[in-house]
Amino acid sequence: MQAQSTNTEDFIKFLGQLRSQIDCSDGRNDTYIILDNHSAHKSDLVRKFIDQDAILFNHRFHLVY
């Protein structure tokens, strides 16, 4: 049995679900995520999602590779 590979759309969906679980009411609006160098984690769509998330929700994901 092979493990299913993550793609950009799956990763963006994960980030959206994660953000919905984060409480920023205490003023801590940054989330750091440690990742490998998978191409799905570095796509332009992911960067656009993170930038849009920062504007819409006053929250910032920091991706650390």
Tell me which residue range forms the domain holding 42: 8-64
Q: Is there a domain that residue 2 lies in?
A: no
Q: Is there a domain that residue 1 lies in?
A: no
Q: Is there a domain that residue 3 lies in?
A: no
3-state secondary structure of 50: helix
Q: Is there a domain that residue 37 lies in?
A: yes
Q: Give the chain's domain count.
A: 1
Q: What is the pLDDT of residues 25-56, one digit of tens each?
A: 888 899 999 999 999 999 999 999 999 999 99
Q: E-strand spans in 1-65?
A: 30-34, 60-64
Q: Is there a domain that residue 49 lies in?
A: yes
Q: How far apart, in whole angstroms, are the C-alpha atoms of residue 38 and residue 23?
A: 28
Q: Is there a domain that residue 53 lies in?
A: yes
Q: What share of the chain is helix, strand, coil (3-state, %, to 5)?
A: 50, 15, 35
Question: Does pTM surpass 0.95?
Answer: no
Q: Is there a domain that residue 40 lies in?
A: yes
pLDDT at position 5 is 63
